[in-house]
Amino acid sequence: MTTPHSTATPPKNMSLIPGGTYWMGSEDFYPEERPVHQVTVDGFWMDTTAVTVAEFRRFVKATGHVTTAEIAPDAADYPDADPALLVPGSLVFNSPPGPVSLDDYTQWWSFTPGADWRHPEGSDSNIGGRERHPVTHVSYFDAQAYAAWAGKELPTEAEWEFAARGGLDRQAYVWGDHDSPGGRPGGNVWQGQFPWENLLEDGHERTAPVGKFRPNGYGLFDMAGNVWEWTADHYTSDHAHSSKNVAPASSCCIPRNPRAEFATEALAGEPYARRVIKGGSHLCAPNYCLRYRPAARQGESEESSTCHVGFRCIIRIPQE
């Protein structure tokens, strides 16, 4: 249960998102963003930034929560899987040394044993100095657990997109209709030719500390780039219709969980449902994945965790 809040008592580190009607989606980019349609949302509070490493660490200390990436899968559920995949770990991005085919994401994504929220690049890495970075390597289940502990919820896709637009209805980007406002990156996204050439014009090779870029019209930071963010909604290829579990329209920079193809039929349902993630990440590039826009969306399997997906929470305002 979430704790009711009025507009007069703002929760700590949250921004008020007024209710309203807006045009959701886009006709100008990827098929899964269509059709554009009007949606009305009620008012709510939203975390001003994505949940940080420091905030997630407090949650783990208080609850003893063990993330999905830290748990070895049961071999009985994956009878034909490579044993190397049946260990704790997560998906990590590694830039190839030169141009590669954009049709094969295994050229830059790999399942990395020992990678988790404490070890973002693998067991030899750590989170020292990254306390203000968004937490990564968290599954949908981990995000849900944090939200419940904090007395909050995950936003719906419509709530997230409304908040990301910051009052700029029917514009392409969080900051307006131009990709690079004033000739500078508006968020932590990829500059150069993905996945091998990162020009670092925004100053960040991987995640950036939250709040490094200008906020949107609702005072929210990093609603474009840095990390994708989980929402509560099941993914559909046509977001104007009711939720159902379907395959993503394209893989973009979201890799497939390598264990999924080895799952038994018993695991073919709910454990592999896909949820909508929004906002794009530091790995989104115009030449490959122009999805650091409010309308952009991808489907990610609930149990997956990667180095570029995080989350933020909301508190809905009770309606009188």
Confidence at residue 112, expressed as pLDDT on a 0 to 100 scale: 96
Confidence at residue 237, expressed as pLDDT on a 0 to 100 scale: 84
- List b or e across 226-242, with b for residues whose CB sees 16 or more CB atoms inside 10 angstroms: bbbbbbbbbbbeebeee
Q: 260 by DSSP, 3-state: which?
A: helix
The contacts of residue 178 (CB under 8 Å, 6+ apart) are: none
Which of the listed CATH numbers 3.30.530.20, 1.20.1250.20, 3.90.1580.10, 3.30.300.30 matches domain 7-319?
Answer: 3.90.1580.10
End-to-end CA distance of the chain: 18
Confidence at residue 242, expressed as pLDDT on a 0 to 100 scale: 44
What are the tens digits of pLDDT across the range 237-261?
877 764 444 444 445 566 766 665 5
Say how far apart CA 2 and CA 223 lie, in whole Å.
23
Residue 7 vs residue 159, higher pLDDT = 159
Confidence at residue 85, expressed as pLDDT on a 0 to 100 scale: 83
β-pairing, 20-24 with 37-41? antiparallel
Mean pLDDT over each residue of the chain, to the nearest integer: 89
Beta bridge partners of 120: none
**Full DSSP string of 187-205:** SS---SSTTT----TTS-S
Proportion of the chain above pLDDT 70, given as a percent: 88
At which residue do the structure tokens 């990564």 appear? 136
Residue 2 DSSP symbol: P
Confidence at residue 241, expressed as pLDDT on a 0 to 100 scale: 64
300 band by pLDDT with thresholds 50, 70 and 90: very high
Q: Is the pLDDT of residue 68 over 50?
A: yes
What are the tens digits of pLDDT across the range 155-213?
999 999 999 999 999 999 999 988 887 788 899 999 999 999 999 999 999 999 999 99
Q: 78 by DSSP, 3-state: which?
A: coil
CB 180 within 8 A of CB 189: no
231 band by pLDDT with thresholds 50, 70 and 90: very high
CA 28 to chain centre: 22
β-pairing, 89-93 with 37-41? unpaired
Element (H, E) at 110: strand 109-113
CB 25 within 8 A of CB 240: yes
The HSE-up count of residue 132 (CA atoms within 13 Å, CB side) is 9
Q: 248 by DSSP, 3-state: which?
A: coil
Confidence at residue 178, expressed as pLDDT on a 0 to 100 scale: 86
**Full DSSP string of 154-218:** PPPHHHHHHHHHTT-TT-SBTTBSSSSGGGS-SSS---SSTTT----TTS-SS---TT-S---TT
**Stretch 112-140: mean pLDDT:** 97
Q: Is the pLDDT of residue 89 over 60?
A: yes
Confidence at residue 238, expressed as pLDDT on a 0 to 100 scale: 77
Confidence at residue 270, expressed as pLDDT on a 0 to 100 scale: 43
Confidence at residue 240, expressed as pLDDT on a 0 to 100 scale: 75
Dihedral, CA of residue 195, residue 197, residue 201 and residue 202, to nearest 10: 30
Copy the structure tokens of residue 194. 């993905």
**Stretch 23-32: mean pLDDT:** 93
- In this structure, of 23-37, 62-76, 86-100, 270-284, the range with the lowest mean pLDDT score is 270-284
